[in-house]
Amino acid sequence: MTLKQTLLHGFWRDLPPFRLVLGLCPALAVTAAANNGLGMGLAVTFVLVFSNLIISLLRKVIPEDVRIASYIVVIATLVVIVELAMKAFFFPLSQQLGIYIPLIVVNCVILGRAEAFASRNTPVLSMADGLSVGLGFTMSLTLVGSIRELLGAGTWFGLTVFGESFEPFEFMVQAPGAFLCLGVLLGLMNAWSRKRGEIFVQT
Amino acid sequence: MREIGRLILVLGLIGVGSATSLAWVRATLAERIEQQEDLYVRGPALSRLFSRPADELLANKVKISTDSAEYPVFYLQEGGELSGLAVQAAGQGGYGGDIVMMVGIDVQEDELVGVEVVSHSETPGVGAKVEKADFRSQWEDLTATEHVQLRSAGGSIDAISGATFSSQAMVNGTNQVVDLLRDHRDEILARIDERIGAGGES
């Protein structure tokens, strides 16, 4: 892939979690509000960019047999850095995201990109890939969060949108609402790409 | 054999790099994280214990060191007299590690005002219930001169069902503070007097 293709593929062709169908756990769990989705997305983007960079730099050094263990150590280190930084600068957000920040370690999008991309591409391309996929993930999570917050609480990023008379569907900010929202979006995306005749091979 | 050596070396070096960078980040951010915890956790907890605005209480802080640990102690003055203390302690024996908590004491009556949880890593929905007010309200008005105990050990605290470890950690933290107050009372009072004398505002 060229640099331009790499920079763009995360926004539609490999858009997580819809296209890659990886990273569903945070996409379902933290998206009760747009704000949380955005924060989670940016945290994942940071980890993804730097884990891709470091793994790409070390790709010729890391032996095949212990590559997954090495990737996990690198990713876990970055996640703890994010966790500490979030506590130092965005404390309320870190309290809301709680356990889901440490769980970025096992977010399959990150391990997936390390294995599928960073381990066989140059550092610059790998960072571009991390940025693209990370921002795509942020976009998806913010979208899911926005829909759920708007319908479930009548607010957007904490601002009242529909006013007093609006009776929120509380269902949408609870767990089943997350599945419903994600499923409908996935269906719409598939219908749209079928209409345009795009061929998707899930790899 | 050479191959195995290489595996160990590479993984070991990655581990060393990881540990070094984490230690550095932690040291750099420790002070700021503490400030944020004051602002968002300790401040509101103190404010609930003593029904006073948080910034009035947060500044009133001394640190008491014992052989085993260091305790941040916050104090409240009313009409020029010391009326309340809030001691932060780490309750050991939690399911996910120590539960950092704040124990409020009415110094005049030698009674507990209440307990507040500062930070914990207990299981959400189980041990995390130690944060709930109906569990913590059991501490109100207990005497501050004797150890508290779970009901299973003959005491007065009902443990959260399914979370005996977490409940026990809260009890342990309280008892540390009871011990501290018994053994180091004079030192605490002297340190507070010293601080007030040194220009700490009323």
pLDDT at position A202 is 52
Angle between helices A108-116 and A123-153 (to 10 degrees): 160
Cβ of B29 within 8 Å of Cβ of A92? The answer is no
**For B8-17, b where at least 16 C-beta lie within 10 A, e where not — what string?**
eebbeebeee
Question: What is the spatial distance between Cα B60 and Cα B136, in angstroms, rounded to a whole number?
Answer: 24
Question: To 10 degrees, the CA torsion angle through A76, A81, A85, A86?
Answer: 0
Question: What is the spatial distance between Cα A176 and Cα A31, in angstroms, rounded to a whole number?
Answer: 12
* Residues of A with Cβ-Cβ distance to B100 under 8 angstroms: none
Shortest CA distance to A50 belongs to which of B94, B17, B93?
Answer: B17
* Smallest Cα distance from A45 to chain B, Å: 19
pLDDT at position A200 is 62
Q: Could you tell me which chain A residue has the CA closest to the CA of B16?
A: A73
pLDDT digit of tens for each residue in chain A (203 aa)?
788 888 888 888 888 888 878 888 888 888 888 988 999 999 999 999 999 999 999 999 998 888 999 999 999 999 999 999 999 999 988 888 877 888 889 888 999 999 999 999 999 999 999 999 999 999 999 999 999 999 988 888 888 888 777 888 888 888 889 999 999 999 999 888 888 887 765 54
For the stretch A157-202, pLDDT in tens is: 888 888 777 888 888 888 889 999 999 999 999 888 888 887 765 5
* Smallest Cα distance from A160 to chain B, Å: 24
The residue of B1, B2, B4, B7 whose CB has the most chain A CBs within 10 angstroms, and thus the best one to mutate to test that interface, is: B7
For the stretch B70-109, pLDDT in tens is: 888 988 888 778 888 999 999 999 998 899 999 999 988 8
Half-sphere exposure of B127 (CA within 13 A, CB side): 19
Chain A to chain B Cβ contacts (< 8 Å): 53
Shortest CA distance to A59 belongs to which of A51, B196, B18, B193?
Answer: A51
* Residues of A with Cβ-Cβ distance to B33 under 8 angstroms: 84, 87-88
Nearest to B29 among A84, A95, A98 (CB): A84
Cβ of A77 within 8 Å of Cβ of B18? The answer is yes
Question: Would you call B65 an interface residue with chain A, using a CB distance cutoff of 8 Å?
Answer: no
DSSP summary character for residue A163: -
- Interface pTM, i.e. ipTM: 0.78
Question: Would you call B40 an interface residue with chain A, using a CB distance cutoff of 8 Å?
Answer: yes
Query: Contact B157/B142 with Cβ under 8 angstroms?
Result: no
Cβ of A63 within 8 Å of Cβ of B22? The answer is no
pLDDT at position A203 is 45
Cβ of A63 within 8 Å of Cβ of B26? The answer is no
Residue A97 phi/psi, 5-degree rounding, is -75, -30
* Smallest Cα distance from B195 to chain A, Å: 28
The ranges assigned to domains in chain B are 44-197
Please state, rounded to an integer, the average pLDDT across all residues of chain B: 88
B125 pLDDT above the threshold of 80: no
Query: Contact A135/A45 with Cβ under 8 angstroms?
Result: yes
The average pLDDT across B170-179 equals: 94
Cβ neighbours of residue A169 closer than 8 Å, sequence gap 6 or more = A151, A152, A177
Query: Contact B95/B127 with Cβ under 8 angstroms?
Result: yes
Question: 0.80 cut: is pTM over it?
Answer: no
* Smallest Cα distance from B87 to chain A, Å: 23
Question: What is the spatial distance between Cα A107 and Cα A100, in angstroms, rounded to a whole number?
Answer: 10
B23 pLDDT above the threshold of 90: yes
